Amino acid sequence: MKSARRQNRMEALQILFQLDLNQELSTQKALKHFEEFYSLDKKQIDDFTRRLVIGVTDNLKNIDSILKNASENWRPNRMAAVDRNALRLGVFELLHCNDIPATVSINEMIEVAKQFGSESSPSFINGILDKIRQLYPNPDKAK
């Protein structure tokens, strides 16, 4: 059984994927589109999902710069779209969601990658997020 937060992360990944493929779409329109056409029971998007999507889009340049520095031989624009957006979510959680322990963020992105990514996605995401956790320690992070 999936936790509510995992479901929120999976929804955020789908919205970020949509934004990644259609860069002319605004964050608010993507959220509204998902809410109208893809959310379960046409329910309003959860605050946590919204927090993740807006957080990633507002910090996208910095997040992609961090990904580029941490992923040797892999520029974000060369990564598979699912992996790139799962990593973006993970980086946002690691650096900006102090209420979520780093191990939880990494493990959740691995689980999301198992659901949406390729066979190699979970280990790829684990390696990069763990490296980012080490390169950018966050002393305010929940344990």
pLDDT digits (tens, 9 = 90+) for 41-90: 657 889 999 999 999 999 999 999 999 999 877 777 788 999 999 999 99
**Domain membership flag for residue 141:** no
**Domain membership flag for residue 87:** yes
Structural domain span for residue 69: 4-135
Q: What is the reported pTM?
A: 0.92
**Domain membership flag for residue 143:** no
**Domain membership flag for residue 72:** yes
**Domain membership flag for residue 57:** yes
Percent pLDDT > 90 in the chain is 72
Domain of 27, CATH number, reads 1.10.940.10
**Domain membership flag for residue 109:** yes
Q: In the chain, how many domains are there?
A: 1
**Cβ-proximal residues to 98 (8 Å cutoff; 6+ apart), any chain:** 138, 140, 141, 142
Distance CA 61, CA 63 (A): 5
**Domain membership flag for residue 69:** yes
